[in-house]
Amino acid sequence: MKRKAPIGFLDSGAGGISVMLACRKLLPYENFILYGDSANAPYGEKSEEEIKRLALAAAEKLLEKNIKALVIACNTITTIAGELLYSRLNIPVIGTVPALKEGKKLLKGGQMLVMLTPASARSQTMRSIMQQYGADAKLLPCPGLMEFVERGEIEGERLNNKLKQLLSPYKGENIDVVVLACTHYPFLLNELRKHFDDNTIFIDGSSETLKTLIFELNKKNILCNSEIQGYTQFISSEDNNTVDIMKKLYILGGGDEKSIID
């Protein structure tokens, strides 16, 4: 019974879909439900107390769906409320960690730039990740950027102007790796590439999240054992328009439209 229960994905909005898409590739038979708390987004510009409170309440929404595991598909929630969720929930909880460890391996003498939310940048977790893997990494908080993805605005002049403004301190710098440490940003990759050299590599934390998710499901013996395509469901604390944007982003990212249920 438990094996067929859905896996919950939690984010402050539509960004979690980038993690869900990475997981979908290797877990086609699992049922996925994403809860996006868009009504309270952006989390990345809130206090730690507020983020913890909202994250617990949002996780509660997914627990009501009898999920068998929770993927925190959000770097901000992971860095600030990760420990709290790991200790409070009695199902496997898997975070999405800013990918500095992987980024470090790709350096070729240039810099590592980490794009993230202001709250993640200030967090203790981020400080300890930096100490371990990237003392020289440059943190670039990007207030106002996730909102473009929330609106489904993933290309165009307004976005490019925003990126130009955010990235101006790094213009002309030798950047080997850009770590996308907010799950909304992978949707902006096409436009982001225009602001860097062709050799710059972009990475995010989703493949590590996927590895840990499979490990945890295996360990608990709760990997789905049927070979029927799993369903994909989107729930938002905002209106139906937000759910429509989520569906579009999922399909645009290569997700199977036929798997989506209401």
What are the residues facing 94 on neighbouring strands? 71
Single out the residue of 43, 148, 187, 234 in contact with ligand DGL (rule: CB under 6 A): 43
User: Any bridge partners for residue 33, and if so which?
Assistant: 8, 233
Distance of CA 234 to CAs 15, 204, 212, Å? Answer: 12, 22, 22
Does 249 engage in binding with ligand DGL (CB under 6 A)? no
How far apart are alpha carbons 196 and 211 in whole angstroms?
29
- Rounded to an integer, what is the distance from CA 236 to the centroid of its chain? 16
- For residue 21, what are its two tokens? 């898409």
Smallest gap, in angstroms, from Cβ of residue 232 to ligand DGL? 18
Within 71-100, the residues that bind ligand DGL by CB under 6 A are 74-76
Q: Measured from the CB atom, is 76 or 242 closer to ligand DGL?
A: 76
Site string (143-162) toward ligand DGL, x via CB under 6 A: ---x----------------
The CA-to-CA distance between both ends of the chain, in Å, stands at: 22
Interaction residues for ligand DGL, span 106-135 (CB under 6 A)? 117, 120
Q: Applying CB under 6 A, does 12 fall inside the site for ligand DGL?
A: yes
d(CA 18, CA 246): 10
Query: Does 34 participate in binding ligand DGL (rule CB under 6 A)?
Result: no
Q: What are phi and psi of 67, to 5 degrees?
A: -70, 150
Query: Is 18 one of the binding residues for ligand DGL (CB under 6 A)?
Result: no
Indicate whether 209 belongs to the interface with ligand DGL (CB under 6 A).
no
The residue from 5, 7, 8, 11 that contacts ligand DGL (CB under 6 A) is: 11
The answer to the question of residue 15 lying near ligand DGL (CB under 6 A) is: yes
Closer residue to ligand DGL (CB): 17 or 177: 17
Task: By CB under 6 A, tell whether 182 contacts ligand DGL.
Answer: yes
- Residue 28 or 50: the one with the smaller Cβ distance to ligand DGL is 50
Residue span binding ligand DGL (CB under 6 A) among the ranges 35-43, 63-71, 87-95, 125-133: 35-43
Give the Cα separation of 149 and 74 in Å (integer).
14
The 8-class DSSP code of residue 226 comes to: -
Residues annotated as catalytic (active site), given as ranges:
74, 182
CB 154 within 8 A of CB 145: no
200 binds ligand DGL (CB under 6 A): no
Residue at token pair 């309440």: 57
245 binds ligand DGL (CB under 6 A): no
For 177, 198, 205, the CA distances from 174, given in Å and listed in that order, are 9, 11, 22
Q: Which residues bind ligand DGL (CB under 6 A)?
A: 11-12, 15, 41-44, 74-76, 117, 120, 146, 182-184
